[in-house]
Structure 1
Amino acid sequence: MSLRRSLNFLGNLGNTSHQFAVIGLGRFGRAVSSELHRMGYDVLGTDIDEKLVAQVLSQRMAAHAIQLDSTEPLALKEAGIFEFDTVIVAIGNYLQQSIITTLNLKEAGVPHVVAKASTEIHGKLLERVGADRVVYPEAEAGCNLARALTRPSVLDNFDLDPEHSIVEVLVPEEFHGNTIAELQLRSRYGLTLLAIGSEDKHFQINPLPNQRLDKGMAMVVLGANKDINKLLD
């Protein structure tokens, strides 16, 4: 299971800045840094472990990386981290350091702090000290794996909220040869068809009603989870 599917929050940071700081360069922190760097953002990575900092620099997972103790406000200030609009605290497995770091950032006035939590209690504590968003990558990866095992026709999914999702699914065999208009997805299933894709993953957005669907194609639909499950069943 790729960690990249656990980084959905990156597309919804609501931030116009091109600079991000990532504190904690473990597996999750490196994945966040690497993805932001790949997307063209200026990323500063930090960790107390010099070896992890060196790894990020050598593998070019961030534009800059420095060693520091994020529980020390002075170290964060001298590194210029308080000047960032968005800081991701990726110290999920060290509860005390994670909470102190988040508190330091919010007390210094960092507008948007995203913090990784390893448990529900950890997440609640992070919210108490001011985290603007708490993410649970391990839990999300577990859910994605469960979906992949029980719903092999689901190629990808994005949860809009607990009740609504956008999913990419294989065209069901019973849909083969039918046009979009004939399927009546909105009236029969309550779903909105956003795109269809061929086997080479070339997607057509807002396909025409007379477009015919074939087995092996993919379709991207938006709707309530209960309606999506009805389609999958």
Structure 2
Amino acid sequence: MLFKNRSYNAEFLVKLSSWNFWQNLRPENKQFAVIGLGRFGRAVCETLHNLGYEVLAIDKEEKKVNLALTDEISSHAFKLDSTEINAIKQAGILDFDTVIVAIGNYLAESITTTLNLKELGVKSVVAKASSETHKKLLEKVGADYVVFPEREMGCELARLLTKPGIIDKFDIDPEHSIVEIIVPDKFDGKTIADLEIRNKYGLNLLAVSAEDEKFTINPKLSTILKKGTAIIVLGSNEDINRLQK
């Protein structure tokens, strides 16, 4: 049977939907609009701007707009009520392929803004949600991708506290992951061939880092692992936990 239960099926479909969204993003896209300049919105603006992308920052509060310009976290910044569909048209937001709705704490405003953007034909809308209900509503009105910054940060903290050996983790599905982990002490000084990670743990070793933190993809079997560096492996969560133990 392909799916063990309905919840697994639902999670798989969510993963597939997310995959389709990222696949459809145009790699040459250099323009982003961010609506809502709270902590999350400012962080998105600043990061995109520092990476060299053109960013339009929008908020209905003039103080936040002025601060975005003063701090130089965006290319342009407008004061705008995004619940007004005509205001969105006039601001030129429709010229942007990807718009991030960073209004997480005002449910009606977030949903109305997302609906306006999709009705006007914005190709990709990423929206911040503050609850599961909020997420469902955003998806109902057409959000292409929904994020939970606070929840994801909480999950990340819990993982770091309980599994300190894992540096980073990407869930492929509920049972399999790609993880970056610190080289276990007992692996220090041994080659990949010596360790037989695939045979003993059922894991695929994808990359190995050096002391300068640069990774070698598909490392040779003769590569020697060193304490304090990292490896990236792919496999079941059960096998990953066995490797850590």
Amino acid at match of 2:175: E
Q: Does residue 1:54 correspond to 2:59, yes or no?
A: no
Corresponding residue to 1:129 among 138, 141, 146: 141
The 3 A distance-change label for structure 1 pair 149 and 33 is: same
Give the TM-score normalised by structure 2: 0.85
Out of 34-43 and 64-73, give the one that drifted further. Answer: 34-43
Q: Distance in 1 between matches of 2:210 and 2:100?
A: 36
Contact 1:82 1:108 in 2 (8 A): yes
CA distance change for structure 1 residues 164 and 125 in 2, over 3 Å: closer, same or farther?
same
Give the distance between the partners of 2:52 and 2:173, measured in 1 at CA: 28
Q: Which amino acid aligns with 1:194?
A: L
Residue 15 of structure 1 corresponds to 26
Kindly, what percent of the aligned residue pairs are identical?
59
Cα RMSD of the aligned pairs, angstroms, is 1.8
Instruction: Work out whether 1:80 is the aligned partner of 2:95.
Output: no
| Residue 153, structure 1, aligned to residue 165, structure 2 | yes
Secondary structure of the 1:121 match is helix
- SS in structure 2 of the partner of residue 142 of structure 1: helix
What letter is aligned with 2:151?
A: A
Matched position secondary structure for 2:103: coil
Distance 1:35 1:64 in 2: 15
Distance in 1 separating the partners of 2:175 and 2:48: 28
Alignment equivalent of 1:101, drawn from 101, 108, 113: 113
Q: Report the secondary structure of 2:100's partner residue.
A: strand
Q: Which runs of 5+ in 2 are unaligned?
A: 1-18
**SS at the partner of 2:243?**
helix
Q: Which residue is 1:3 aligned to? A: none
Native 8 Å contact 1:15 1:86 kept in 2: no
**Is the partner of 2:40 in helix, strand or coil?**
helix
Structure 2: distance between partners of 1:162 and 1:52: 40
Note if contact 1:73-1:104 (Cα within 8 Å) is conserved in structure 2. yes
- Deviation, 1:40, is 1.9
Give TM-score scaled by structure 1 length.
0.90
Given the superposition, is the C-alpha separation of residues 59 and 174 from structure 1 closer, same or farther in structure 2, using an over 3 Å criterion? Answer: same
Following the alignment from structure 1 to structure 2, what is the Cα–Cα distance between the partners of residues 198 and 119? Answer: 41
- Is 223-232 or 140-149 further displaced after alignment? 223-232
Equivalent position amino acid for 1:141 in 2: M
Count, aligned residues: 224
User: How do 1:1-233 and structure 2 match up within 5 A?
Assistant: 12=22, 14-16=25-27, 17-233=29-245
